[in-house]
Amino acid sequence: MSKRGNPGANALANIISGIVEQKSDAPLVLDFGIITENYSLKTNTFPLPIPKSEYSVCRCVTYDPGVPLTQTYNDGAHSHPNAGFGGSHVHDVRLPEKMYWIRPGDKVLVAWVQDEAVVVDLVYRGDIVAG
């Protein structure tokens, strides 16, 4: 009886072993960063500022406060408290200032996708946004 083993099982074991080794050596995937005065990105783990042309930003943190996010539909006449009868009209819906686009000094959450930094969102201390 031969003790060669199963070649398929050996190949699978080698693949799994390689994946485990890659995972243990894998770089940090999420990071914190600060947007500098010239809009470059400095992260906690990358030693040099990343120019704004060399990192990406998720759409949700590029909102322009000068443009309404959306408008309500023209739903007929309704009144507003302390404003009297308003007639038929629409409302611009805008994001709160804390959700505007990134600015110098903002702390951001950064995801590393291969070798590219992607700003995912703004990060605030808990006492700033909590009740």
Over residues 117-129, the pLDDT tens digits come to 999 988 888 877 5
How far is residue 42's CA from residue 64's CA, in Å, rounded to a whole number? Answer: 23
pLDDT at res. 88: 61
Residue 41 lies in a domain: yes
Residue 5 lies in a domain: no
Do the Cβ atoms of 75 and 91 come closer than 8 Å? no
Residue 20 lies in a domain: no
DSSP letter for each residue of 9-75 = HHHHHHHHHHHHHHHHHPPPSEEEEEE-TTS-EEESS-SSPBPGGGSEE-GGG---TTS-SEE----
Residue 3 lies in a domain: no
pLDDT at res. 106: 92
Residue 91 lies in a domain: yes
Residue 118 lies in a domain: yes
Residue 6 lies in a domain: no
Instruction: Pick 90 or 122 by higher pLDDT.
Output: 122
Band of pLDDT at residue 109, cut at 50, 70 and 90? very high
pLDDT at res. 34: 96
Name the residue range of residue 107's domain. Answer: 28-62+101-131
Do 114 and 57 lie in one domain? The reply is yes
Do 53 and 74 lie in one domain? The reply is no
Do 50 and 108 lie in one domain? The reply is yes
Instruction: Pick 42 or 15 by higher pLDDT.
Output: 42
Residue 90: is its pLDDT beyond 70?
A: no
pLDDT, mean of residues 6-26: 66
Instruction: Pick 50 or 92 by higher pLDDT.
Output: 50
> How many domains does one find in the chain?
2
